[in-house]
Amino acid sequence: MMSLKTGYLVMYNAMSFLLWTYLTAETVSSAASLYSQSRLSALYIFLSPLLAITQSLAILEVLHAASGLIRASPLTTALQIGGKNLVVWTVMLRFPDIMKTEQGMLGFLGCVMTWGCSEMIRYGFFVVQLTRSEMPRWLKWLRYSAFVILYPPGLLSEAWLVYLSFAQATGLSSAYRGYLLAGLLSYMPAGYFLYTHMLAQRRRVLKDPSQKR
C-alpha cells in the first residue's frame, strides 16, 4: 500500500505534469495560427495567469527539499524555482505591454516552451519513479540529458525579458530599475553554477556501473 508521503508526492508531480503539458500543448497548437493573424500577444493574455499559478506551485518543492521530504539541495532548488518565479511575477506580469510586443513574445514563448518541455520530463520522471519499481533507461537518460539542450535557450529567454523590461519600461523607481539590473547581471554566474551542477549530477547518475570501484 502506498504511504501518505508517496501518495502526496505522486499527486503533486502528476498535477504539475498535467499543468505543464497543457501549457506547452496550448502554445504549440496556437502559436502559428495566432502569429499568422498578427494576434500572437493573445497567447500571453490567455496563458500568463495559469503560468503564474503553475510556476508558483513549484515553490512547494523548496519546502519539500528543506524538510527532507525529497532528496534535493534546498539551495539549488530555491535558485531554480525562485528565479523563474521572479521572472513570472516581477517581469512577465509586471510589464504586460512589453510582453505583448514581438520582442517580448519571443522571450515569453521561449520561456514557456523550454520550461514546459523540461518540466514535463522532470515531473513525468518523478511520477514513474514513485509508482514503479524499475525506471526505464530511456526515461532516466532523458531526465538527466534534456537540460543540456533546453537550459541555455531557457536562460537566454529569461534574461532577454529582464533586459527588455530594464531597457523599455518607463516610470520605474530607481530601486526597481536597480533590481532588474542586478537580476540581469546575476544570470551569468547563477546560470553557470546551476548548469555545471546539473552536468555533475548527470555524470554521477548516468555513470557506467562497470566504471565504479
Residue span of the structural domain in which 155 resides: 4-206
In a domain, 55, yes or no: yes
Please tell me the predicted confidence (pLDDT) of residue 15: 98
In a domain, 166, yes or no: yes
pLDDT digits (tens, 9 = 90+) for 141-161: 999 999 999 999 999 999 999
Please tell me the predicted confidence (pLDDT) of residue 116: 98
pLDDT digits (tens, 9 = 90+) for 55-68: 999 999 999 999 99
In a domain, 212, yes or no: no
Please tell me the predicted confidence (pLDDT) of residue 210: 52
pLDDT exceeds cutoff 60 at 211: no
Mean pLDDT of 10-38: 97
Q: What pTM was computed for the model?
A: 0.93
Mean pLDDT of 19-48: 96
In a domain, 61, yes or no: yes
Total count of domains within the chain: 1
pLDDT exceeds cutoff 50 at 204: yes
In a domain, 211, yes or no: no
In a domain, 187, yes or no: yes
- Say how many CA atoms lie within 13 Å of 208 toward its Cβ: 2
Active-site residues, by number, are 151, 158
In a domain, 213, yes or no: no
Cell numbers representing residue 111 in the block? 520561456
Mean pLDDT, the chain, rounded, equals 94
pLDDT digits (tens, 9 = 90+) for 160-193: 999 999 999 999 999 999 999 999 999 999 999 9
Q: Are 130 and 122 in contact (CB under 8 A)?
A: no
In a domain, 48, yes or no: yes
Provide CB contacts within 8 A for 163, sequence distance 6+. Answer: 184
The dihedral of CA 176, 179, 184, 185: what is its sign?
positive
